[in-house]
Amino acid sequence: MRLPLSFSLFLVLACGGRDETPPPRPPVVEETAGETLDLPDPVDFAARHPSFERYWYQGAAELSRFRLEQQRYGAPREGHAVLVFVTEPFLPDAQVKHELDDGQADVGVLKLNAYRRFDTGIYPYTVMTSVFGQVEERGAALKATSTVTEWCGQAFTQLNRRRGDDADEWALALRSYFQAEGDQDRRVSGAMLEDGLFVRGRFGAEQLPTGELELIPALHYLRFRHQELRPYRATARVERAREEAFSDAELTRYEVSYPELGRTLTVYFEPAFPFDVRGWEERQAGEEGVTRAVRTHAILTDYWAHNGPDDGAYRDALGL
């Protein structure tokens, strides 16, 4: 996908990209190190820039911090989650960020880095899932990766979309320290990804699939429960609802249930642009506890440019 020249100039290459003059970004007023930063609020910024291009192609990422209560080993664990949404140029064949000025044709993606961290007794869990949703296809996922790291070991999963004349599949690469999972390289039916629903929802509720469908469940969930990575039958519905745990106002409530797994995911989006995520819940049949993430902070900033020892105020601004 090629954006108009005026918007192409705003493409920012986060985390170390091309060596070129950075595009304009929302104003950041720094007072002194360690004091409050005047960072743009996503809702206010969207009100002044009420279109996908003007909101997302402005040289900054949207960062949201969530208070997390994660169910693990039969007990609730306190932690936090962070959702990082940012646009990038993406090479659809190599399926990597387009960083070099090499003339290759790229597409625009809305990337989600979903991070969560919590402790279980003496040792911590760190989970991160990345989804690359093609802007031209209203968030349809081209690639997803996930890592689960804890003191027993690590597990890594990568899915790459492979489309051909006869098939629409995911190329799966799975690396795990568990014997029953081991190392896997195989093809999986090209069903939608549960992880990709968070990206689709940023394009509006009409992009969220409903009714009977097949989904590949969240990659971290499959690792936590040691379930086979494949599509599972699911039912999904979207409605407007008021849930005080997430907002005083009415939200878009999106619910996905898997009868075979006993899993239910509910995501709460703002009903108006930019359709930001206010939180989510994960329920497991037969278990009392609920995994719940509730948004506490949201900012826009070029976070990759703030990695120095005096940039701790940015963590304060995000509630970290």
Nearest to 188 by CA among 200, 167, 171: 171
- Which residues are registered as beta bridge partners of 128? 115, 147
Phi, psi of 243 (to 5 degrees): -130, 105
pTM above 0.85, yes or no: yes
Quickly state the pLDDT bin for 165 (edges 50, 70, 90): low
Is residue 2 scored above 60 in pLDDT?
no
pLDDT at position 15: 52
Q: How far apart are CA 233 and CA 227, in angstroms?
A: 14
Is residue 35 scored above 80 in pLDDT?
no
Average pLDDT over residues 192-196: 98
Quickly state the pLDDT bin for 71 (edges 50, 70, 90): very high
Is residue 26 scored above 60 in pLDDT?
no
Instruction: Measure Cα distances from 56 to 7, 35, 86, 301 in Å.
Output: 10, 27, 7, 12
pLDDT tens-digit map of 42-67 = 988 999 999 999 999 989 999 999 99
Q: Name the residue ranges covered by the structural domains of the chain.
A: 5-13+39-317
Average pLDDT over residues 207-227: 96
Q: How far apart are CA 23 and CA 25, in angstroms?
A: 6
pLDDT tens-digit map of 73-111 = 999 999 999 999 999 999 999 999 999 999 999 999 999
Q: How far apart are CA 55 and CA 50, in angstroms?
A: 7
Average pLDDT over residues 34-38: 59
pLDDT tens-digit map of 274-295 = 999 999 999 999 999 999 999 9
Q: How far apart are CA 21 and CA 23, in angstroms?
A: 7
pLDDT tens-digit map of 229-267 = 999 999 999 999 999 889 999 999 999 999 999 999 999
pLDDT at position 36: 64
Is residue 309 scored above 60 in pLDDT?
yes
Torsion from C-alpha of 216, 151, 185, 165, nearest 10 degrees: 30
Rg of the chain over CA atoms, in angstroms?
19
pLDDT at position 38: 79
Is residue 155 scored above 60 in pLDDT?
yes
Quickly state the pLDDT bin for 23 (edges 50, 70, 90): very low
Average pLDDT over residues 178-202: 94
